[in-house]
Structure 1
Amino acid sequence: MNEEQLLHFFQRIDKLTLDQKPLFGKMNVHQMVCHCADFFRMAKGIKLAEEYGKVDPEEIKSLARLGKTAPAPKGFGQVEGNGTKPTEFGKDKLILKDFILEFSRLPEDYNFAIHPYFGKLTHKRWTGLAIYHLNHHLGQFKV
């Protein structure tokens, strides 16, 4: 992620307010912020999924190409209560921004955790997923 992308994501996160309603999905805006932070916890191996290799990666790619929501990996569902619990909205937004910044500074040879759907991914693939995931969920709340 380059500096321009970082700034753009940070500006969009700063526009989030607790009263925003989603265009799709069941998460509220605060849950979404924690869900996005969990993506980076997953990438670093801080938070692990409950199962790996049980979902066909082609199914996930197909849903994404169709603009449909893919299921969260088991153990990451905010609505189901498996994601990181929201605390204070402003603090949770700062945590997300810190994770994004830290992720953007990881070296090309960083040893990422295994993705529950896609397995071992390169730095480039993890970055592509991070950008896609953030765009998807920030767009979910019209920012």
Structure 2
Amino acid sequence: MKNVFDKNDLTEIIDRIQQLNPKSKKLWGTMNVAQMLAHCNVTYEMIYTDKHPRPNSFMRFILALVVKPMVVSEKPYKKNIKTAPQFIIAGKRDFEIEKKRLIDYLIQTQELGETHFHLKESHSFGPLTKTEWSNLCYKHLDHHLSQFGV
């Protein structure tokens, strides 16, 4: 699996994002390309902002027990899986703004590096290792970039 903390891997990820355009067609799912980019940005909003309320301790326990193993493993996501409510993007989004935000978040993540993220508390799952953080970030992006054929 690619590593979001590795500069070469990150360059490859950004190159894939750069291949998208406002008319990119989805191969599955319901989001258009701008909504998909906004959807991917939610992960980083949870890392870098307080925009999304944290789940209560009981819900975090359940998420860590049930969802975390699926999210941080190297096993790819299935197509058309359900997403958490805060990741549902409705309405029109500006493609260029969402693309720039995503690339900026990725660069920030790579520059902070794996040491910064190792055992950092996640929004929903508690502390994650650097590998779990990288898997979480890369796998989600890879899933959605593949959804749009890049």
Aligned match for 2:122, one of 96, 114, 124: 114
Give the secondary structure class of the aligned counterpart of 1:17: coil
Give the secondary structure class of the aligned counterpart of 1:120: strand
The RMSD of aligned alpha carbons is 2.7
TM-score by length of 1: 0.77
Q: What percent of counterpart residues are identical?
A: 30
Instruction: Name the counterpart of 1:72.
Output: 83
Contact 1:45 1:112 in 2 (8 A): no
TM-score by length of 2: 0.74
Q: Does 1:92 align with 2:98?
A: yes
Deviation at 1:96, TM superposition (A): 0.8
Compare the two structures and name the one with the higher helix fraction.
2
Counterparts in 2 of 1:113 and 1:78: CA distance versus 1, 3 Å: farther
Q: Does 1:139 align with 2:150?
A: no
Contact 2:76 2:143 in 1 (8 A): no
Deviation at 1:45, TM superposition (A): 4.3
Instruction: Name the counterpart of 2:67.
Output: 57
Contact 1:43 1:126 in 2 (8 A): no
Contact 2:29 2:79 in 1 (8 A): no
Q: Deviation above 6 Å: which 4+ runs of structure 1?
A: none
Contact 1:37 1:95 in 2 (8 A): yes
The runs of 5 or more residues in structure 1 that have no matched partner are: none
Aligned residues: 136
Instruction: Name the counterpart of 2:47.
Output: 43
Counterparts in 2 of 1:37 and 1:66: CA distance versus 1, 3 Å: closer
Q: Counterparts in 2 of 1:22-33, with a 5 A limit?
A: 22-33=26-37
The runs of 5 or more residues in structure 2 that have no matched partner are: none
Render the CA deviation track for 1:51-84: whole Å, top value 9, x for unaligned. Answer: 443552278469x5563444322322114x6xxx
Instruction: Name the counterpart of 1:18.
Output: 22
Contact 2:52 2:86 in 1 (8 A): yes
Q: Larger RCO: Structure 1 or Structure 2 (Cα < 8 Å, ≥ 6 residues apart)?
A: 2
